């Protein structure tokens, strides 16, 4: 996936470091419920090991695990200098450019398909740990979305350290963009009121939790369907110039790498569908491709689908 050359990026929706948030959860009360099944738990760990603090947090009271102001400022300086050319080679700038591409697509597709206005989530790039509206979070959990503050949180080190080295995913920029698009899918589910379904039925191959995750994969595919044809807000050419077959293959390999069955095998455990929260490799591949090939929100209705 190649961003067009030339031009600055709108970095106003992306920041470095955490934003101390409200106490508790918007739905379900407490991190032990909704957020555990909403965030992208690519590591497949037990909720008690996620490094999430169930209550509200003081931005200055998380001790040695918290992101320092220096690192937050360094991230912010990096973000502010990003342009489209750098987005093709630099992970942080690629995340910034992807959020802008997602905004362009959803600003068009959401009103066109269901008559609803898109509200862009904020994105925070951090390292180590961060305070959120859902409590304190460690980078060990991977990229995640917090419904309480409508914020996507990404530690860029995740892509190489976990996705590639631990889970065997491809070292591809397209993989990074898919992960960001998946988290934005959770924001859309929050806007539509669907995200709460994950809490009502949290585990199993056809559970509400799995259906929520598969729908976010489908929404990521829908973004990919339109990303290279949606003009920039000023009427200029799309931010993304091309989406090649190798890009799609890298995304599919990433979706398969973060399937529950693959994660269980990689960790040396038996495959246990009853414990799934995100779906199998095949399910994740299938639903990304559904969104990518059909470009329809209606086609992404995993809640009525037979899994």
User: Mean pLDDT for the chain?
Assistant: 84
- State how far the alpha carbon of 136 is from the alpha carbons of 62, 146, 220, 228, in Å: 8, 11, 27, 36
- Alpha-carbon radius of gyration of the chain: 18
Q: C-alpha angle with apex 242: 251 to 40, nearest 5 degrees?
A: 30
- Please determine, for residue 218, whether its predicted confidence score (pLDDT) is greater than 90: yes
Looking up tokens 């959120």 gives 132
The model carries a pTM of: 0.85
DSSP notation for 16-64: ES-----SS-SSSSSTTTHHHHHS--TT---GGGS---SS---TT-SGG
Q: Is the dihedral of CA 24, 27, 28, 33 positive or negative?
A: negative
CA 215 and chain centroid, separation: 12
Asked if 99 and 93 count as a contact pair (C-beta separation under 8 A), the reply is: no
Asked if 17 and 75 count as a contact pair (C-beta separation under 8 A), the reply is: yes
92-131 pLDDT per residue, tens: 999 999 999 999 999 999 999 999 999 999 999 998 888 8
Asked if 260 and 279 count as a contact pair (C-beta separation under 8 A), the reply is: yes
First to last CA, the chain: 30
The whole-number pLDDT of residue 69 equals: 66
The whole-number pLDDT of residue 8 equals: 82
Lowest pLDDT segment from 2-6, 25-29, 209-213, 255-259: 25-29
153-193 pLDDT per residue, tens: 999 999 999 999 999 999 999 999 999 999 999 999 999 99
Nearest residue to 62 via CA among 6, 1, 122, 132: 132
* Burial of 8 from C-beta contacts in 10 A (0-12 / 13-18 / 19+): exposed
> Order of strands, edge to edge, in the sheet holding 151-154?
14-16, 122-125, 151-154, 144-146
Q: C-alpha angle with apex 226: 225 to 227, nearest 5 degrees?
A: 105
45-76 pLDDT per residue, tens: 333 333 343 333 333 333 333 445 677 888 99
Partners of residue 124 on adjacent β-strands = 15, 153
SS3 assignment, position 136: strand
The whole-number pLDDT of residue 53 equals: 39
d(CA 217, CA 206): 15
Lowest pLDDT segment from 21-25, 89-93, 273-277: 21-25
Q: Is the dihedral of CA 266, 267, 270, 275 positive or negative?
A: negative
d(CA 202, CA 7): 44
């Amino acid at each position: 996936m190649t961003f067009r050359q030339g031009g600055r990026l709108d970095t106003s929706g992306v920041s470095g470091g955490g934003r101390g948030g409200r106490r508790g959860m918007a739905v379900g009360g407490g991190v032990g419920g909704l957020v555990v099944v909403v965030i992208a738990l690519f590591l497949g760990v037990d909720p008690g090991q996620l490094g999430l603090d169930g209550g509200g947090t003081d931005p200055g009271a998380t001790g040695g695990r918290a992101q320092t102001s220096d690192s937050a400022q360094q991230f912010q300086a990096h973000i502010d200098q990003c342009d489209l050319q750098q987005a093709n080679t630099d992970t942080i700038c690629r995340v910034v450019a992807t959020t802008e591409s997602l905004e362009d697509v959803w600003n068009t597709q959401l009103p066109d398909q269901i008559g609803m206005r898109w509200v862009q989530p904020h994105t925070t790039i951090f390292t180590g740990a961060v305070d959120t509206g859902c409590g304190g979070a460690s980078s060990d959990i991977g990229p995640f979305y917090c419904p309480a503050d409508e914020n996507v949180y990404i530690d860029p080190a995740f892509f190489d350290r976990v996705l590639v080295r631990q889970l065997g995913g491809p070292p591809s920029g397209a993989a990074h963009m898919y992960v960001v698009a998946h988290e934005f899918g959770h924001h859309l589910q929050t806007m539509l009121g669907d995200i709460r379904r994950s809490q009502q039925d949290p585990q199993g191959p056809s559970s509400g939790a799995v259906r929520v995750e598969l729908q976010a994969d489908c929404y990521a595919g829908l973004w990919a369907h339109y990303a290279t044809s949606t003009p920039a807000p000023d009427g200029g050419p799309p931010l993304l110039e091309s989406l090649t077959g190798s890009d799609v293959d890298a995304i599919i390999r990433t979706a398969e790498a973060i399937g529950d069955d693959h994660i269980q095998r990689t960790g040396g455990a038996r495959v246990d569908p009853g414990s799934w929260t995100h779906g199998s490799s095949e399910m994740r591949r299938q639903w990304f491709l559904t969104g990518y090939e059909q470009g329809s929100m209606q086609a992404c209705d995993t809640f009525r689908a037979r899994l």
